[in-house]
Amino acid sequence: MQPVDDLFAPESEPVAAATAGYVLCEFDGLAIAIPQSDVFAIEHGSELAAPLPGENVIGWFASTQGPWPVYALNRSLGIATHLSTERSFIVFLKADTWPLGILAQSVRIIGNATELTTQQIPGPLAKYANGINGVARISAKQVAYVFEQHSLLALLTQLTVLPEISLGVRYG
């Protein structure tokens, strides 16, 4: 598995230039733009191990470093415990202990941040934005929530009890 920085960086450009953009993820009728510098890797989500009873993950991705938790977000940016539609991709976020995955129906790389024209969240609403920096039009009929650096990971951390105990039960 290669980090996303290595997969998408042209040979002649420094990695910093390749991580200046966003990874656009679509799921459940919602689109989010994650800073590319927050993304560890993008994988196909076809082979996830099922969660144990009581786990709040949608599944586990088997990596050479051990299992990585994978979550599914709903259109309210909460944790989904079941999926209404198939999601084929996992976007892994960089984290201290192990990467955290988010399932997505589609993933697109936006190589340069200037390709997204972001409108800031208005002041009174900003306190409810959960790390969302703004919104950006991605098509004639759709906008994406644009996250600040590290804020989607912070949101996931707030929404979940990180599965340290589950790792011991599952693989201990």
Q: Where are the chain's structural domains? A: 4-161
What confidence category does residue 12 fall into, taking pLDDT thresholds of 50, 70 and 90?
Answer: very low
Binning the chain into helix, strand and coil, the percentages to the nearest 5 are: 20, 40, 40
Say how many Å lie between the first and final Cα of the chain, rounded: 24
∠106-35-45 over CA atoms, to 5°? 30
Q: Which position has the higher pLDDT, 46 or 1?
A: 46
Phi, psi of 151 (to 5 degrees): -80, -30
Cβ-count burial of 47 within 10 angstroms (0-12 exposed, 13-18 middle, 19+ buried)?
A: exposed
pLDDT tens, 13-44? 333 434 589 999 999 889 999 999 999 999 99
Tens-digit pLDDT profile for residues 112-130: 878 888 888 877 877 777 7
Confidence of residue 72 (pLDDT cuts 50, 70, 90): very high
Name the burial class of residue 53, with classes exposed (0-12), middle (13-18) and buried (19+) by CB atoms within 10 angstroms of its CB. Answer: exposed
| Number of alpha carbons in the 13 Å side-chain half-sphere of residue 63 | 24
The residue to which tokens 């079941």 are assigned: 82
